[in-house]
Amino acid sequence: MSQFNFTTLGQFIIEKQSEFPFAKGELSRLLRDIGIAAKVISREVNKAGIAEIIGDVGEINIQGEDVKKLDLIGNEMFTTVLERGGEVCAFASEEEDNMVALKGTHSKNGQYVVCIDPLDGSSNIDVNVSIGTIFSIYRRVTSVGTEPTLEDVLQAGNRLVASGYIIYGSSTMLVYSTGKGVNGFTLDNSIGEFCLSHPNIQTPKDGTIYSLNEGNASDFPEGVQKYISWCKEKDKETQRPYSARYIGSMVADLHRNLLKGGIFIYPPTAKAPNGKLRLMFECIPMAFIVEQAGGIATTGKERVLDIQPKELHQRVPVFIGSANMVNKALSFS
């Protein structure tokens, strides 16, 4: 195979543009804009230790979490890129209290809204553990040319146009879906391009990894506690005991499980009766990816993508990953 036989993100998006005749190129440009922002953030993440952009800024975000310097950089980068692109009328971020109506020259005529977690797992920044960006794209519901409203953002995941994530680890990788399967692109720094490295990702139906914070196990629902105990039992037929792997960055944990097979759980607890993860910024976009790869995403009671959001920063429990593993976990409820 020729060393020049590769497909870049831009080429791939153009090739697939015919799948969205309604978009007329806007969605393709939007996805390329997200790719550009990801390259810049990847650069900032990789030089964080020597550029004095590690650490807190002394602020608390809407989630009650310490704001990291890179959180702000990521948030500002995506705001700037999306505003200049003109395809997006409104932007909602985990770092912002409210939806932001973009003020670019063409933003009011933008057909899309974007929800984003600029740096998922940012508490891991200071210790050089993989972090990521999660994004989702919807078509606006208000009329083009008018001021966008919260109605444009608060849409169920079954109305998504696209979603994806970028993981900043030993390499930077962008994984996304437009509802036609899942594809992954690895950043080649030598040419400054994301290149197709993981076409048509399909997550295994079974796996041997379970991911959750067992430090909270005493507060988990009885069914989850029973499932964890079952995962630890010895059984050659089902390859148990399973391996416990928990990074604390949803992107990193789900990326591993997506490729290798596994289940990620963040159940309700006494401290977080509605779960801890954000529906709009984490659960919906990752559920879309996992389902497109053949997996399952549920709160334990309903499909994540069927939930009608009521609040921008709404939280939900989540059981997500390989289909057989999720179904087995639910059987203990």
Instruction: Evaluate if residue 92 carries a pLDDT over 70.
Output: yes
User: What is residue 67's predicted lDDT score, i.e. its pLDDT?
Assistant: 46
User: What is residue 69's predicted lDDT score, i.e. its pLDDT?
Assistant: 73
Give me the DSSP letters along 47-60: TGGGTT--SEEEEE
CA distances (Å), origin 200, targets 12, 196, 258, 289: 12, 10, 12, 11
Instruction: Evaluate if residue 65 carries a pLDDT over 80.
Output: no
Instruction: Evaluate if residue 70 carries a pLDDT over 80.
Output: no
Q: How confident is the model at residue 68 (pLDDT cuts 50, 70, 90)?
A: low
For residue 90, with 0-12 CB atoms within 10 Å meaning exposed, 13-18 middle and 19 or more buried, which class applies? buried
Instruction: Evaluate if residue 60 carries a pLDDT over 60.
Output: no
Q: How confident is the model at residue 49 (pLDDT cuts 50, 70, 90)?
A: low
User: What is the distance between the alpha carbons of residues 161 and 281, in angstroms, rounded to a whole number?
Assistant: 15
Q: How confident is the model at residue 105 (pLDDT cuts 50, 70, 90)?
A: confident
User: What is residue 1's predicted lDDT score, i.e. its pLDDT?
Assistant: 38
Which uninterrupted H or E stretch holds 28? Answer: helix 26-46
Compute the radius of gyration of the chain from its Cα atoms.
19
Strand partners, 176: 164, 183
Q: Between residues 68 and 228, which one has the greater pLDDT?
A: 228
CA distances (Å), origin 266, targets 213, 227, 297: 8, 13, 12
Instruction: Evaluate if residue 81 carries a pLDDT over 80.
Output: yes
Q: How confident is the model at residue 313 (pLDDT cuts 50, 70, 90)?
A: very high
Mean pLDDT of the chain: 89
Query: Could you tell me what percent of the chain has a pLDDT over 90?
Result: 74
Query: Rounded mean pLDDT of 160-180?
Result: 94
Instruction: Evaluate if residue 47 carries a pLDDT over 80.
Output: no
Query: Rounded mean pLDDT of 292-315?
Result: 97
Query: Rounded mean pLDDT of 170-177?
Result: 94
Which uninterrupted H or E stretch holds 82? Answer: helix 69-85
Per-residue pLDDT of 12-46, as tens digits, reads 988 887 776 665 688 889 999 999 999 999 888 87
Instruction: Evaluate if residue 57 carries a pLDDT over 50.
Output: no
- Residues 235-249, buried b or exposed e (16+ Cβ, 10 A)? eeeeeeebeebbbeb
User: Do 242 and 230 meet the contact criterion of CB atoms below 8 Å apart?
Assistant: no
Query: Could you tell me what percent of the chain has a pLDDT over 70?
Result: 90
Q: Between residues 1 and 102, which one has the greater pLDDT?
A: 102
Query: Rounded mean pLDDT of 105-120?
Result: 92
Predicted TM-score (pTM) above 0.85: yes
Query: Rounded mean pLDDT of 300-314?
Result: 97
Residue 73 neighbours by CB distance under 10 Å: 19
SS (H, E, C) 105-128: CCHHHCCEEEEEEEEECHHHHHHC
Q: Between residues 204 and 27, which one has the greater pLDDT?
A: 204
Provide the residue type at 25 as one letter: G
